[in-house]
Structure 1
Amino acid sequence: MNYLQFIFIIITACCNAQQINIKVVDYVTNQPLKQADLYFMHSTKYFSTNNEGKVNIDLSGIDKQDEMFVAMKDYQNASISLSNIQSELTIKLEKVEEIKLSEAFLTNLRVEDILKNVIRNYNANYNVDKYYFLVDLVQDFKMDTLYYNSINLNLQLKFDKGKVKAKSSGIVKDRLVKGNAPVQLSFVTSDYFKNLYILDAIKSTYNQVLRNQYKLSELKKTVYADKEMFEIFLDNGINDRTYFLIDRKTFSVVEYQLNLNNIVQTNKNTLLERFGIISIKYRPYENSWVLKESEVSFKMNLKDVNRPDLPIDFMHKISTWNFSEKPFQFFNKTIDLDSNFHDIF
């Protein structure tokens, strides 16, 4: 029996609705699927489900003849014509139990071969300099129970020949500051923004693989957005673990995650022990892949001989909610990415 890729249940009928509520669940278990991606054939808007598998979608500005896709790794894609969409629906995704990827093709490839092809096809796969991106930025900074600083704002990002330019509307969506910082630390984000399209990280990993610096490497297969994918798992046996999700056909990196556990020297010449992740995700658009979201999340300990260890939590997340080949209106305040966002606004 061939299962449908999705089943939608109409709760209320409203053909001209601009706001629709969607829940995405597993076809068999009916369990909600969090972080499922919803995007369109032609529109630059996209959305992701929350922890309950739910999302509210604003269809304003999207052509009624467009098509919406629902995608999640290890699941078959669902597609819905907007001309038939209703204001409330549940989408069931069927998990892929058997992925038809040639075992011989997989066996004959090595991790270094795949990464080499990623580098070779990089410019063709990513129109890095083509778009202006609108991103929602959230940054939380906590020092033990003594200090908490949180900020949420929108930025416009433009990649230009290895450099990143950022602009703001000057409006802060949310801001909360509690207590006083016992020490002053500066986290420069310019390098982070520069590497959102991760060519340097790919090259570095490739060179480490060639030098046999990873003690364990594993190559698997899966699907995402109805495309066959390679999954690469790398572990150096000491501190770092690296993960890639790569489009088999185009050799585009779709997801990247680096798990770090190391000690670095701060700008105050004290040691900072950190454990956490850096992750970046992309989604398909026309014939390339565009930035979806990225997160840096660290739990750290500041080791200073003059005081007890100071626990520090740091989270920095951006989510793209629109992009365009032209600049966005009202985003005209230039932001210095070498500065601290908490000091700028």
Structure 2
Amino acid sequence: MIEILHPDEDAARIAELRSRDFTWVDGWDTALAELRVLREFDSAATVFAGAGAVSFDEHHLDAASRYVVYPWRRTVVRLPDADLFYRLRTTRNRYLITDDEQRRWESAPVAVAGLSVGGSVLYTCALTGARTLRIADPDVLGPSNLNRLSGSVCDLGVAKSTLAARRVLELDPYVSLDVHPEGYTAENADRFLGGAAVVLEEMDDLRRKIELRVAARERRVPVVMVTDDGDGVIVDVERFDLDADYPLLHGRAEELSELSPEEFDDPSRRVELAGAIVGDDITARMRYSLGEVGRSIPSWPQLGTAATVAGAVGGMLARRIAVGDDLPSGRAYLRLGELIGVLQ
């Protein structure tokens, strides 16, 4: 989707782009001042991507640069190289995330299936420094997605996987991205799940939800799901990496794994099956809304507030699992509406 060009090795390509109608952005205009400050704080023992050898004249700056081509924006950005850019971009994480945790998070393979609410989770993972990402979603952006998905009317009809990839690459072009525009399937399970530190499952397709968990359990990969509940969220953590026999969705979905595709796809059973997964402990408005699916609303009711909270919660849990924190399996509820009752 992008090109990352070396100033010497790709000089001809850079010269060609300069002759074309591209906008040029020099990231050093702001990065240089930040680099000077960071070098004052960094000790000689700190690995700073060779920054100690970078002087501030133009020749040395260009040697430590890469030129990133964003074709959908017709823009070329000159940035510090991958290691130096990461150090600059994550500097305000320091101590809130230890240096060891940051390194582990950077290299941890994180898989996100479903990119509406999952898009918010994905972006939070990238914001905090995840750099090895796998994404899957078969859908395109429609107007009804714009109540919870950060997007633009200019992108209607564009694949959600493409939009998610662009958003992440504009944040950090050095991210490793494995994109599955076909969505999660049995055919790509090995590539999508294999070796993942954690899977964030946010798909609407109930059959795929169960199939992914069966496959993740077989591969000893932990699964995190954050589900909308009005303005709040329901949080599910399944540590299949710690317990290969842990029951699907804490025992709520074992029987569902035996259903046929036809039973899953039966519209008359959709609310029943969703209820089996979500449970009864939901807000009154969510319970009523679920009953209206297929009657007055076409699909699962969702709010942008919940999608935003889901991004923060899912991203935090994924990071904590990836860096080795002691996080058990289980379900929890985060209900923003309850704040109203405690406000004075």
Under a length normalisation based on structure 2, what TM-score does the superposition of the two structures give? 0.29
Structure showing the higher strand proportion among its residues: 1
Under a length normalisation based on structure 1, what TM-score does the superposition of the two structures give? 0.28
